[in-house]
Amino acid sequence: MNIDVIMRDGCRVAAVLLKWACILAGLSACVGSACAVFLWLLDQAAGTRLSHPWLLYGLPVAGVAVGLLYHWFGRTAEGGNNLIVDQIHEPGGGVPLRMAPLVLVGTVVSHLFGASVGREGTAVQMGGSIASAIGRLCRLRDPHEIRILLISGIAAGFAAVFGTPVAGAVFGMEVLRVGRIEYGALVPVILAATVADWVCHAWGIEHVPYTLGFHGYAGRDGRFFHADIILLAKVVVAGVAFGLASLLFAESVHRVAAVLRRTCPTPWLRPAIGGAVTIALVWVCGSRDYLGLGIVAPEDGGASILDFFGPAHYPLAWAWKLVFTVAVLAAGFKGGEVTPLFFIGAGLGNALSGVLHAPVDLLAAVGFVAVFAGAANTPLACTLMAVELFGAADIVYFATGCFVAYVCSGHSGIYLAQRIAVPKR
């Protein structure tokens, strides 16, 4: 090989690296900023809802309004997360840029009127649609490059909205197929996720910090060790329950959605049913704790993710949240499943801690990530998320809970476009 060839190859590699550095920087800046706007709007919406409780009665109408918005302007954007995953498996028409503003408005309206939805769907869809737009702008044609870019968009959105860059990166690679990780995207995803999270933070967005006091039992010598066999066995039992909760959630959403499709064939009218059911559920259970994200309770002593880490016991909060969330998601409200899954998992962990005589904050933290791991089929991303949110001391229990829940949750999952690479046995 002579000097000319080396120089030419070097220049070619440098050009590719420079192109990708620019693409990823632009992607992360846009997605991080979009997530910052989104999280700020969510905060405003939650505050407004709490100070104007009557807004709940507008939920059916608000849902129909968002339904009509999608009906008139949505086109393929209706596909949501599944469209993005499909476009990664078989790059085709791309993801429309209109998906980003539509899902942003749709989710903020859902939260303003009290629907029990999450935020990750919105972040992932903003990430995917911005990535697809950047791909068109840069005239990327290689399907492999488009795939990497879309995965990076998912990772960036997830990372910025939860403030967990490594979990976001691994989530983007792990969510596409059950039982497989897309190693080809390793470096782009970690860079996109970290920079998007940094951009979101630079806009002044702060994430709620969780405190996990349990750091293992002290041994006879007074020192802590990262694993206790009895507690590990309890976490395995809890992990089975978390996996079954994931299965129950995913199956409920799919089945109730199918029933609603048959009952009400007009898609934009269906949210009215979800809204009406939510209002009825608030009457029946006599609490507004299960509306919105549920990270902080509207009043002292209510059920919320943060409260599940404390000493009070909430035996049925997880089940109520499951019903509230299934009702609106199956009816077509926008937002996503993940924060409600955190609530269901942490609540179930809280409930189980009494039965299993295990530290309540530990089981709440394990449930927080494990139910999500089972429902999204992403055990490694969820283990890393637990480490990023709760620290490294309890990593053995996080991994055990997520791995067991993954195995026990069956194949349905919350993302219908997810392919099955390796069936669970």
Residues that bind its own copies (CB under 8 A): 144, 165-166, 169-170, 178-181, 183-184, 186-187, 190-191, 194-195, 197-198, 201, 225-229, 232, 236, 379-380, 383-384, 387-388, 391-392, 395-396, 399-400, 403-404, 406-407, 422, 424-425
Tell the smallest beta-carbon distance from residue 294 to its own copies (Å): 25
* CB 170, CB 402: distance < 8 Å: no
Nearer to its own copies, 98 or 201 (CB): 201
Q: How far is the CB of 27 from its own copies (least distance, A)?
A: 15
Which residue lies nearer to its own copies by CB, 169 or 245? 169
Identity of the residue numbered 226: H
d(CA 417, CA 133): 21
CA 218, 219, 220, 222 torsion: positive or negative?
negative
The residue among 260 and 380 lying less far from its own copies, judged by its C-beta, is: 380
Residue 166 or residue 317: which is nearer to its own copies going by CB? 166
In angstroms, give the least distance from the CB of 65 to its own copies.
Answer: 38
Rounded distance between C-alpha atoms, residue 44 and residue 119, angstroms: 14
Q: List Cα–Cα distances, 401 to 24, 55, 162, 164, 387, in angstroms.
A: 34, 38, 20, 19, 13
Least distance (Å) between residue 399 CB and its own copies: 5
| Closest separation in Å from C-beta 105 to its own copies | 30
We find the least distance from the C-beta atom of residue 311 to its own copies, in angstroms, to be 25
Q: What is the largest CA-CA distance in the chain?
A: 80
Q: Work out how close the CB of 18 gets to its own copies at its nearest, in angstroms, rounded to a whole number.
A: 14
Choose between 70 and 210: whose C-beta lies nearer to its own copies. 210
**Closer residue to its own copies in complex, CB, 81/164:** 164
Q: Please, which residue, 73 or 225, has the CB nearer to its own copies?
A: 225
CB of 336 to its own copies, least distance (A): 23
Closer of 189 and 327 to its own copies (Cβ): 189
